[in-house]
Amino acid sequence: MMKIILSNSSDKPIYEQIVEQIRSQILYGELSEGTQLPSIRKLAQELRISVITTKRAYEELEREKLIETVAGKGSFVASQNKELMREKKLAEIENKLSEAIKDSKLLNMTLDDLIEILRFLYEEDKDE
């Protein structure tokens, strides 16, 4: 089941919030290949937002080849090339790390400090 939580106070546009959440659910396999997405009108109704917003979100996901729209049938999670998938996930990880780096700079942390934390967390996760 697709999950979407929209925040009105976020400075991210609503369509972008939708794209990000669906994208990450596709990349992490929570939405599997071939899953049908609600129509743009249905999604707009369920989220109580404008049709133009959901339309724009689907168009963006189509551009990224994450979903496919078949005329008269609806939109589906596209089949993902494994290599491409790995690349997209890597890009996501890079994004998240960049965010962490930005935050760490606000605290005047050094690269070594950051690597230390990363190592600690990585090892800890392995133990579980």
What Å distances lie between residue 111 and 31, 76, 114, CA to CA?
36, 42, 5
Nearer to other proteins, 57 or 88 (CB): 57
Nearer to other proteins, 14 or 37 (CB): 14
| Residue 19 burial (10 A CB sphere; 0-12, 13-18, 19+) | buried
Question: Using CB under 8 A as the criterion, which residues of the chain lie in contact with other proteins when the complex forms?
Answer: 9, 11, 13-15, 41-42, 44-45, 48-53, 56
CB of 110 to other proteins, least distance (A): 21
CB of 126 to other proteins, least distance (A): 36
Do the Cβ atoms of 53 and 63 come closer than 8 Å? Answer: no
Nearer to other proteins, 85 or 109 (CB): 109
Residues whose CB falls within 8 Å of the CB of residue 48, separated by 6 or more in sequence, listed in order: none
